[in-house]
Amino acid sequence: MKKKSANPYLSGARIDPEHIKSGLSVADMIDSTFMAYNAGRMREACRLYSEKMLLPDVTIGMSLAGALTPAGIGKSVIIPLIQAGFVDWIVSTGANLYHDTHFGIGEELYAGSPFFDDIDLRKKNVVRIYDVVFDYKVLLNTDLFFRETMKSEIFNRPMGTAEFHYLIGGFIAEREKKLKLGNPSILGAAYKASVPVFTSSPGDSSIGMNIAALALSGSKLTLDPNRDVNETAAIVLDAKRSGGKSAVFICGGGSPKNFMLQTEPQIQEVLGIKEEGHDYFIQFTDARPDTGGLSGATPSEAVSWGKVRPESLPDTVVCYLDSTIALPLISAYALTKAKPRKQKKLYDKLPKLVEKLKKEYLTLQKKK
């Protein structure tokens, strides 16, 4: 029997891992051998996600920054999480969604090397994202897909990025079906599951560049950030007002991280609605906190902004690890340990959620 230490600092699990053996599952490996440092934080993140965040009353937002989809992370990890009901809404860079579309329309990317001669690659019309390579025509074909799709009359008006991605996702899903591709695209999977997908900086990607090109020939399509700010805030407020909790699952940092976290300051600081912050927080990042950038800002710092509930700090984990390593690990763990959840289909509910947010805000304004 384990002897319990009287010293509270020595009350944790004893570091005495079992030998790794053939046939050990990912989940068992994490539980039995990830003892300390970022491995320890990885185990804490896996358990927080599986045991608390995946409870039915928790609404989970995932942010995606960094070149994840070119590495195949969309198909291998994020789509299975969407299908299992383990992700309820997403904020992504436009670049991730653009490169995700390559897979949905049948384009091909290949494993390469970070040491290829880039001058020679340019001569041979090959594009490199670190050690991922593809033909320059992949970009041209994807641009053409977006421009031709966005010429449809349903796009000829202002809209939020959630609506835009939902409509695009429908076209991608049709292309996947026609080409018998299976389910390789995040936007296609999000469309089928009614998971709203937002982009915090829509002009900062090839998707936004193609929208801008169409504007030169008279298209009325614009992406309205006001709708996105109110819709994301409405999702979080409803998660709390319905008696549940709000969780953020942050992959990388940057603008998607801030856009997801700013939902609470929007509710509290700007709209003046009483709220206390997100309840659960997981982040995978390589950014340091001491440079002052948002990418490396800790959950503790987020408390000072009202982004995270002070009482929730024990339920926050930051793991300093590449998302392309961390995401497959935590996903394999969660899909092993937790049962699929009923999909919340938040996209279908957005108009009602925004109306509830508006009603609470206007009621407060009348009292002033």
Residue positions annotated with a catalytic role: 307
Token digits of residue 175 = 């292309």
SS3 state at 47: helix
Judge residue 100's burial from the number of C-beta atoms within 10 Å of its C-beta, 0-12 exposed, 13-18 middle, 19 or more buried: buried
DSSP state letters, 168-202: HHHHHHHHHHHHT--S--HHHHHHHHT--EEES-T
Token digits of residue 276 = 């206390």
SS3 state at 326: helix
Residues in the chain: 368
What residues have CB less than 8 Å from 48, skipping those under 6 apart?
280, 282, 315, 317
Angstrom distance (rounded) from CA 114 to CA 19: 35
Helices (H), the chain: 26-33, 37-48, 73, 79-83, 94-104, 118-123, 136-150, 161-179, 186-193, 206-215, 225-241, 254-261, 263-265, 299-305, 323-337, 346-367
Contact between 236 and 279 under an 8 Å Cβ cutoff? The reply is no
Cα dihedral value 303, 308, 312, 313, nearest 10 = -50
Distances (CA, A) of 345 to 93, 163, 330, 341: 21, 13, 23, 12
Distances (CA, A) of 343 to 81, 161, 195: 11, 21, 8
